[in-house]
A and B are shown apart, each in its own frame.
Chain A
Amino acid sequence: MSETDPVAAFRVEAGEVLEQVEQGLLDLGHRLDDHDLIDAVFRGLHTLKGSGAMFGFDALASFTHHCETAFDRVRKNLTPATPQLIAVILSAQDHMRALIDGDGTERKAEGDAILAKLQAALDGAPAPTPAPAPVEQGWRLSLRLPPEAMQNGINPLTLLDELRTLGDCRVVARTEQVPLLGDLVPTHCMIGWDVELRGAVARADIEDVFIFVMDDMDLQIEQIGPALCDDAHDAAAAPAPFASPSPSASASASLSAPIDDPRPANAQEPAAAPTGRGAPKTGESVRVPAERLDLLMDRVGELVIVQSRLSQLAHSSAADVALHSISEEIERLASELRDTVMVLRMVPVATLFGRFRRLVHDIARDTGKTIELSTDGETTEVDKTVIERLADPLIHLIRNACDHGVEHPEQRLAAGKPVAGHVRLSARQEGGEVVITIRDDGHGIDRDRVRAKAESHGLIQPAQVVSDQELLQMIFHPGFSTAPQITSLSGRGVGMDVVKRTIESLRGTIDVESVLGQGSTVSLRIPLTLAIIDGLLIRVGDGRYVIPLGVVEECIELSLEEDLRSRGRSFITLRDRLVPFVRLREMFVTGTKPSVHQKIVIIATGTERVGLVVDQIIGSHQTVIKPMSPVHCNVPTFAGATILGDGGVALILDVVQLVALGQHQEERLRAVA
Chain B
Amino acid sequence: MTMEETSQTEWDEDGRLEVLTFDLQTEKFAVEAVLVREILDLLPETVVPGADRLVASVANFRGKIIPIADLRLAFGLPSADSTMDSRIVVVELDVDGVQTQIGIRTDKVHEVTTLHRDASETPPTVGLRWRRDYIRELVRTPQGVIVLANLARIFDPLLGGRGTTPVLAPALL
Residues of chain A touching chain B, judged by Cβ–Cβ distance below 8 Å, are 298-299, 301-302, 305, 542-544, 587-590, 626-638, 641, 643, 647-651
Contacts and interface: CB of A to CB of B under 8 A. Distances in A.
Interface string B20-58: 000000000000000000000000101111111001001
Contacts of B55: 629, 631-632
B105 to A, nearest CB: 14
A632 B60 contact: no
B129 interface: no
Contact of A641 (B44, B58, B95, B170): B58
A629 B49 contact: no
Contact of A626 (B51, B65, B69, B100): B65
A299 B62 CA distance: 10
Given A587-B173, A589-B171, A643-B60, A635 B50 contact: yes
Nearest to B155: A631
B126 interface: no
B48 A633 contact: no
A637 B49 contact: yes
B65 A627 contact: yes
Contact of A543 (B47, B65, B66, B102): B47
B159 A631 contact: yes
A587 B46 contact: no
Nearest to B59: A649
Nearest to A649: B46
A635 B100 contact: no
B163 interface: no
Given A301-B63, A634-B52, A649-B65, 14 more contacts: A589-B49, A589-B171, A589-B173, A626-B64, A629-B67, A629-B101, A630-B95, A631-B159, A632-B158, A633-B160, A634-B161, A635-B170, A643-B63, A649-B60
Interface in B142-173: 155, 158-161, 166, 170-171, 173
Given A587-B173, A648-B46, A632 B51 contact: yes
A344 B80 CA distance: 48
A542 B44 CA distance: 13
Interface string B54-88: 01001110111111010000000000000000000
Contacts of A628: 48, 58, 65
Contacts, number: 93
B49 A588 contact: yes
B48 A632 contact: yes
Contacts of A648: 44, 46, 60
A634 B158 contact: yes
A587 B173 CA distance: 5
A340 to B, nearest CB: 19
Q: Say which size band chain B's interface belongs to.
A: 20 to 34
Contacts of A298: 63
B98 to A, nearest CB: 7
Given A587-B49, A647-B44, A650-B46, A633 B159 contact: yes
A543 B100 contact: no
Interface string B94-134: 01001011100000000000000000000000000000000
Nearest to A540: B49
A630 B63 contact: no
B62 A651 contact: no
B97 to A, nearest CB: 11
7 contacts: A305-B63, A543-B49, A629-B67, A631-B69, A631-B102, A632-B48, A634-B158
B44 to A, nearest CB: 6
Contact of A635 (B44, B46, B51, B95): B51
Contacts of A543: 46-47, 49
B67 A632 contact: yes
A298 B58 CA distance: 18
Contact of A630 (B51, B52, B159, B166): B159
Contacts of A302: 62-63
B46 A651 contact: yes
Contacts of B62: 302
A98 B154 CA distance: 42
A302 to B, nearest CB: 4
Contacts of B66: 629
A668 B64 CA distance: 39
